[in-house]
Amino acid sequence: MVQEVNQSANVIVLGASFQRGSGGGIVSSTNINNVTNSTISAAAFVNNQSLSGVVSLNMLIIDKPTMYQNADNSTDNESLVSSVIVAAVQLNSSVTHAINISLYF
């Protein structure tokens, strides 16, 4: 997902979602309630107040990470059983604050 955070005065990009069999999509201030009340496989979004001073918001959702399922090479024999969400937030250099990210699986 690559989008401007502030697309307009009424639409703010908050994150991304993925629904198995359907594909991925943007989570914005206009559709956040529809996304959280749907049958998504995975989603992540940033609290609107956390976007103060955010220059860039990047998210990657790997819904079925079969290539990484047995990535653990320790003796614990662990395996990955859920979607993977990677988020990167770049802040304005003069801003430092906590970022509130909600994850849904």
* Segment 2-34, tens digit of pLDDT: 556 665 667 888 899 998 888 888 888 888 888
- Residue found under tokens 């201030």: 29
> So what's the pLDDT on residue 52?
80
Q: Is residue 8 one of the residues assigned to a domain?
A: no
Residue 87 CB neighbour total at 10 angstroms: 18
Structural domain including 58 reads 13-104
Q: What is the pLDDT of residues 45-99, one digit of tens each?
A: 988 888 888 888 888 888 777 666 656 666 566 666 778 888 888 888 776 778 8
Residue 74 is encoded by which pair of tokens? 């320790």
Could you give the angle at the alpha carbon of 101 between the alpha carbons of 94 and 48, nearest 5°? 65
Number of domains in the chain: 1
Task: Please give the radius of gyration of the chain, using alpha carbons only, rounded to the nearest integer.
Answer: 15
Cα gap 55→44, rounded to integer Å: 18
Q: Is residue 99 one of the residues assigned to a domain?
A: yes
